[in-house]
Amino acid sequence: MSKRIYAIAILLLGISVHGCSSQVAMLDPRIPDPLIDKLPMKVAVRYPANFAEFVHEERVIGKEVWTIDLGESNKLLFDKLLSSMFSDVVAIPAEANMADYEIDALIEPSIDAFEFSVPEQSQSESFAVWIRYRLRIFDHLGTQIANWPIAAYGKSQATTFGSDQALRYAAVLAMRDAAALIILQMDKSTGISKLRRSQGIAPPAGDGETAPAAVQSRAAEEILNEGS
């Protein structure tokens, strides 16, 4: 009898633990195509493993465990974003030798921190997400020329979505916030356009300079308003 009671207790414990965890797998954040002139540059993008496979796990208020998988959605976001900003983008593996690629610059995104809050913590009906990205920019020789931190934020209402969906949507909004900031401030903050050396790439329009601020602002606004 005692063995049977023990087995039932173990089963109930397993059910209890499973019931106190939430798995949130991020999907494509689906940003619109920014309506800006591409910089006439050939850039490589290198995704570190801790970026392309990023998973955040956290126990909230000592009981519920949340697991948020951002990895694939991060790659989708930056693939689309960078392809819309530069005329030629190539992804290279982490172990690649830059000398094997004729590029103007290398961009390496990473995540410094990921934080979130749930209604039980904030005493509200909101889920909130903070993501701190970092963009390292290297010239064609591999010399780092910029190290740019980007703080992004997103919030959604639990009353509009279920818990998992609300947290997922808050993360999507944070990713879109980061995309908008990159469009608006990347060249100003990193000076990447000055690394252009591929004279064979002609500007798609105008004189090849960075898109005017008004155009960048409209593009950033469209990203932030997508799906809202």
Mean pLDDT of the chain: 80
Q: What is the reported pLDDT for 121?
A: 74
The verdict on residue 73 lying in a domain is yes
Q: What is the reported pLDDT for 65?
A: 84
Q: What is the reported pLDDT for 21?
A: 67
State the pLDDT confidence band at 213, using cuts at 50, 70 and 90.
low
Count up the domains in the chain and report the number. 1
**Percentage of the chain surpassing pLDDT 70?**
73
- The candidate with the shortest Cα–Cα distance to 187, out of 30, 34, 35, 38, is 38
Residue 183 has pLDDT above 60, yes or no: yes
The verdict on residue 16 lying in a domain is no
The verdict on residue 2 lying in a domain is no
Quote the radius of gyration of the chain (alpha carbons, Å). 21
Give 6 or 91, the one with higher predicted confidence: 91
Looking at residue 161, the DSSP 8-state letter turns out to be S
CB atoms within 10 A of CB 152: 20
Q: What is the reported pLDDT for 220?
A: 54
* Domain at 176, CATH number: 3.30.160.150
Q: What is the reported pLDDT for 60?
A: 76
Q: What is the DSSP string of 167-211?
A: HHHHHHHHHHHHHHHHHHHHHHHH-GGGG---TTS--SSTTSPPP
What is the domain extent for residue 159? 22-225
The verdict on residue 7 lying in a domain is no
The verdict on residue 12 lying in a domain is no
Average pLDDT over residues 54-73: 81
Q: What is the reported pLDDT for 13?
A: 38
Instruction: Give the least confident one: 38-52, 59-73, 201-215.
Output: 201-215
